[in-house]
Amino acid sequence: MNDEKLTAYLKNILEKGRMAEAIDLSKEMGAQLSEEEINSYIFQYLDQGWLSKAVEGSKAAGVELPDDMLFGWIDKYLEEGQIYSAINAIKFLGVPLPKDSLIEAGRKCLLEGELNKGLDAFKAAGEEVPEKELLSCGNKCFEEGKLYPGLEAYEKVNKTPTDELLTLCGDRCFEEGWTNRGLESYERSNMSPTKEKLLACASRCFMDKNQDEGRRAIVEANKARE
């Protein structure tokens, strides 16, 4: 393997988080990784939410990562809504779950329309999600055109979204060029989108090279009233 191919191969496995393998290979090939490269990739792993890979890589490189720093990264994951990174890091380190922080992070995710992340945070904390938070999440999902998460949030509290929320969702879908989802939103409200909205949706679809949904929007626009 020539130097160029070796460098490319090492970069590839390092970017996948396989630092121990990269270190062993570089030693065998007489191309030892620099301290700067090692530290850079460890930081990259932490920044990507790969705390376990950062710890494993640092051990292989003989670099110590202080516990306080690692706990700081867990706090950062929770603050930024990286729920899965935080949970995986906590499990990897074998430390107690920060229940209050998980609940707060889960609540924030729900308010931002991130249903699954929010549910998983509350589940990890061993708490039920309050109805208010689920409804707020559902409303946010509909505002953003996320029909199915919105419906799921409402179903979890045995409630039905209003026609206004469903048409709001449909309108957002049409603005984004999501014809099928927009039509389903309107169908669930027993209302019909205007021809103008459907033609605007078709235009967005074709601009995004979504030919199938663009054609459907045209077909439906030809059936619609002004």
Strand spans (E) along the chain:
none
Question: Can you give the pLDDT at residue 34?
Answer: 82
Question: Can you give the pLDDT at residue 226?
Answer: 55
- What are the boundaries of each domain within the chain? 1-63, 66-159, 162-226
> What is the spatial distance between Cα 109 and Cα 121, in angstroms, rounded to a whole number?
9
Residue 160 DSSP one-character state: -
> What is the spatial distance between Cα 117 and Cα 129, in angstroms, rounded to a whole number?
12
Residue 224 DSSP one-character state: S
Question: Can you give the pLDDT at residue 4?
Answer: 72
Q: Produce one character per residue of 182-217: b if its CB has 16 or more CB atoms within 10 Å, e if not.
A: bbbbbebbeebbeeebbbbbbebbbeeebeebbebb
Provide block-wise average pLDDT over 10 residues at a time, the chain (226 residues): 71 89 82 84 94 93 90 92 92 89 94 95 93 97 97 96 96 96 95 94 94 94 78
> What is the spatial distance between Cα 109 and Cα 180, in angstroms, rounded to a whole number?
26
Please give the structure tokens belonging to residue 24: 């062993």
When computed from its CA atoms, the radius of gyration of the chain, rounded to whole angstroms, is 24
Specify the 3-state DSSP secondary structure of 18. Answer: coil
Specify the 3-state DSSP secondary structure of 196. Answer: helix
Question: Can you give the pLDDT at residue 2?
Answer: 55
* Alpha carbon distance, N-terminus to C-terminus of the chain: 67
